[in-house]
Structure formats: C-alpha cells, structure tokens
Amino acid sequence: GTAQIGVTGLAVMGRNLARNFARNGFTVAVHNRTAARTRELIEGFGTEGSFVPAESAEEFVAALERPRRLIIMVKAGDPTDAVIEEFAPLLEPGDVIIDGGNAHFADTRRRERELREAGIHFVGVGISGGEEGALHGPSIMPGGSRESYASLGPLLEKIAAKAPDGTPCTTHIGPDGAGHFVKMVHNGIEYADMQLIAEAYHLLREVAGYSPAKIAETFRGWNTGRLDSYLIEITAEVLAHTDAATGQPFVDIVADRAEQKGTGRWTVQIALDLGVPVSGIAEAVFARSLSGHAELRAASRDLPGPTPRPLGDEEAARFADQVEQALYASKIVSYTQGFHQIQAGSDAYDWGIDPGAVASIWRAGCIIRAAFLDRIRAAYDTQPELPSLLSDKQFAEEIGAAQDDWRAVVADTARQGVPAPGFAAALAYYDALRARRLPAALTQGQRDFFGAHTYRRTDRDGSFHTLWGGDRSEERTG
Ligand code: 6PG
C-alpha cells in the first residue's frame, strides 16, 4: 500500500481529519461502513490531496503502507469494539490502530492490553477542537506505547494546531489510556469554564441588569485581557446573536436545559474514585443536570427569595469589574483542580504525565484554548514539581489581588438570590486549602463516637479510640 495513514468512519470528524492529513501532503486511505460516505468525500474534497478510497476492510488495509496506521473515528463504546474486531485480524505485529473518539480511558486500557498480545499497538487519542479543529488543526492527546508515537507522532505534529510560538499542539501523553484520560479532564475543565462563564453572564443579566448585547460587549472587552480565550470569544458571539424568527436575543429563545454527552460526568466519577476534589467541575455537571429537571424547577418556582435590588449605572459597571475578578480567580481554581486530577491519574496508573506539556498542547486547537494556558505552562516550566497551581507565586498573587472582589461577588449572589455554584465552590475550595485547621477533626470525632472508627492525634503517632460509651478514657489502637 501507499497510504501513510487511513481513516475509517467518515462522519464529520473523521472526514475532516482525513482532509487535514491530505491537505498536509499525506496519502490517506479512507473507508466507511456505508460506501456512499466515502464517495461523497472523494466527490466533495478529492482534489484537496491524495486519497485512496476503499470499499472493503481488506481493500482499506491493503492500501496502507507498513507498519500500518489506521485511525478509527466512530462512536465511542460498542461501535469502536466492533470496528477493532473487524480490522485486527487483518493486521500484523507492529501495526498501529488509533482510536480518535471520545473513549473512556478504561476501555482504552482494556483494548490496548488485548491488542498488545497480538503485537498490535493500540493508541487512544483524545482529539479536541470540534469539526473546525479536526480540519484546520486540533489539539491531539495520544496515549499508547512510545514506539507507536515514534511512528505516529510526526504525522500528528504536522496536522495539529500550532501554539503562538509555533509548537505543535500534540505530544506523547503517556502509555495506554493516558491520552483519553487527559482528554476527559480537558472536557471536565471545559464544563467548568463554560459554567463559570454562564454564571458571569447570569449575574450581569440579573444583578447588573445588562442586556445580552451589552454583556456580549463586556465579554469582548474581557477577551482582550487575561481572560482571552476561545470560549469567551464564542460566548460574545452567541450573546450578540438575534433570533431571526422572533427578533429576540437568541439566548432568550433557547430552552434553558443543558445537555451532555458524558465526558464531564466521567471526569467527576473518576475524580471520586481517585479521591480528588474537583468541586468546580462537579458543580458544572450538576448545574447541567439541575437545569434539565423541568418538573422540579416548575414546582419550586414560587419558593421565597430575596427582593432584587437594582443597581445604578456606576454600581453596575463596578459590579461587572468584580465579576471579571471572580471569574478569573474561579478559573484558576478550576484548572488547579483539573491538573490535580491529571497528576493523580498519572500517579495511579504510572503514566508519567508532564503537566507542563499538557498545558502546552492545550494552548491552541482545543475548546479550552486560552492565553491563560501559556501561564500554566510557564508555571510548570519554572517548577516541574509544583504541588498545585495555586502554589505558583504569580497565580497566588493574582488571586490575592482578586479575592476581595471575588468574595464580594459570592456574597452578592447569596444576597440577591442568583445561583453561582461554580464561583462559590471555587472560593470554598480556596479557603479550605488556606485554612490552618479544618473541621475534619470534628468529623473524625463523630466517626469515632458512633462507629469506633479511630482518629489520629496532632501530638503523637498512632491511631486512637475514645471510650465514648464508658469512662471516655482513650486507648491506642494501632
Ligand atoms: C472537544 C469537545 C468535544 C465534546 C463536546 C460536547 O474537545 O472538541 O470537548 O469532544 O464532545 O464539547 O460535549 P458535551 O456534549 O458533553 O457538552
């Protein structure tokens, strides 16, 4: 075969990825379960580069140069297993199967293990950036063996987005499921970013009394500063959009029930297993699910709340500045939590993930791309063993400068009755980390009281139990 890479599964993501490879000078074998899609790709975009259309799995595999590299772009879950089962018997040791879908990293670990026995490299790759990213340059997070990256990496580096300094937004994340794990956390952070932006919008609307158009303008302003990011940019676009049918602001005619395909939920589920407090991401997932409970919301509509206190123009402008501070500080906390989870996953699965490299490849191409990620990369560059992003001197200073406004906004949300679970959870996390003493000591006392679960002391090693039902003397239990 002559094709350097093959793509099977030609829905929009697969098609755009195939076109991206072809536009970058690679010969790309293309295949789809129903051949009509393959023909559409060739008819529509065949002149963009060198494609080898294949009707059957055998034809597709035969079109690939060895060691073969074939990318599966089908739905995560059973469809991915079905395609692997179809192709694996046609491959030889040394060949590389790449799964570019949003697979759960545990599935990726299983598939990698199973195929390794046959000598086939299975590479789970997280790809971010949506349809446009797939075509013009996504952020790519490959897991799998080092050996497979040696064969695949140069191709990925070619088609990936480039950071402002020219670095390709891809790197070998780590073995087996590391790539899909990092993509999962990317999506968790994406949920948190979106939720924080939504809260900022809601506060500007309900507390400052701004119109969607005015909020769009405010966000455009923020986008020229430290919040400069793709998500702020598209938020301004969405808010400025008018519904053609009604002439209403678009945001007012969309049903306020947020959906999800599940990667944010996975992030939180895995965080619970790993014992990592990702409260900001969790609030974002819960906010989506709360929004979808139409009956519960309808039944609660008339519950008592505070009387809103409208702000004057100057006060509103001042409040908007405070919201920017709160958003930025909360964003630092979200990323702190997300990177904590990456670190914890890396430790648990022995992946050796370099957090600075992750920040680096999120600088462009992906949904959470932002100027901010260059700051995170720099923080890890200066201090590779940084225990938490909050311990970076510059982030700590920025939070210090933002904290008064952040606290004022969280207090206002409570007083005015506008929910801001992301802002509030971020602040609570920050204050809990700062605390000299936490009430966890009391929790331990309660556990020991009702279940003899024992506790540790601040002044001596060992575990202890107090005879709560007896003379309340203390015994050492270990
Ligand atoms: C990306 C996105 C993408 C994800 C969408 C939708 O990085 O390009 O994360 O992979 O599918 O964001 O996610 P939800 O439907 O869960 O909101």
Tokens of 315: 């006060």
pLDDT of residue 310: 87
For residue 87, what are the CA distances in angstroms to 68, 97, 435?
Answer: 11, 9, 55
Pairing of strands 96-99, 69-72: parallel
Question: pLDDT, tens digit, for every residue of 245-283?
Answer: 999 999 999 999 999 999 999 999 999 999 999 999 999
Tokens of 258: 């947020």
Q: Decide if pLDDT at 12 tops 90.
A: yes
pLDDT of residue 338: 98
pLDDT of residue 217: 98
Mean model confidence pLDDT for the chain: 97
Q: Decide if pLDDT at 467 tops 90.
A: yes
| 360 within ligand 1 shell (Cβ under 6 A) | no
C-alpha–C-alpha distance, residues 372 and 370, integer Å: 5
Are the C-beta atoms of residues 30 and 38 closer than 8 Å to each other?
Answer: yes
C-alpha–C-alpha distance, residues 42 and 220, integer Å: 40
| 101 within ligand 1 shell (Cβ under 6 A) | no
pLDDT of residue 43: 98
| Residue 191 Cα to ligand 1 middle (Å) | 9
List the Cα angle 276/281/286 in 5-degree steps.
115
Is 75 catalytic? The answer is no
| 129 within ligand 1 shell (Cβ under 6 A) | yes
Q: Decide if pLDDT at 28 tops 90.
A: yes
Percent of the chain at pLDDT > 90 equals 99
Question: pLDDT, tens digit, for every residue of 394-404?
Answer: 999 999 999 99
| Residue 114 Cα to ligand 1 middle (Å) | 28
Q: Please, which pLDDT band fits residue 45 given cuts at 50, 70 and 90?
A: very high
| 113 within ligand 1 shell (Cβ under 6 A) | no
Please give the model's pTM, rounded to 2 decimal places.
0.97
Q: Spell out a b/e string for 16-54, using b for 16 or more CB atoms within 10 Å of the CB, else e.
A: bbbbbbbbeebbbbbbbbeeebbeebeeebeeebebbbb
Are the C-beta atoms of residues 407 and 413 closer than 8 Å to each other?
Answer: no
- Report which ligand 1 atom has the smallest distance to the Cα of 102: 10
- How many Cα atoms within 13 Å fall on the side-chain side of residue 249? 15
Q: Which of 40, 132, 162, 190 is catalytic?
A: 190
List the Cα angle 113/115/116 in 5-degree steps.
65
Residue nearest atom 1 of ligand 1, based on CA coordinates = 128
- Report which ligand 1 atom has the smallest distance to the Cα of 368: 7
CB atoms within 10 A of CB 15: 24
- How many Cα atoms within 13 Å fall on the side-chain side of residue 123? 33
Is 324 catalytic? The answer is no
| Residue 180 Cα to ligand 1 middle (Å) | 13
CB atoms within 10 A of CB 435: 10
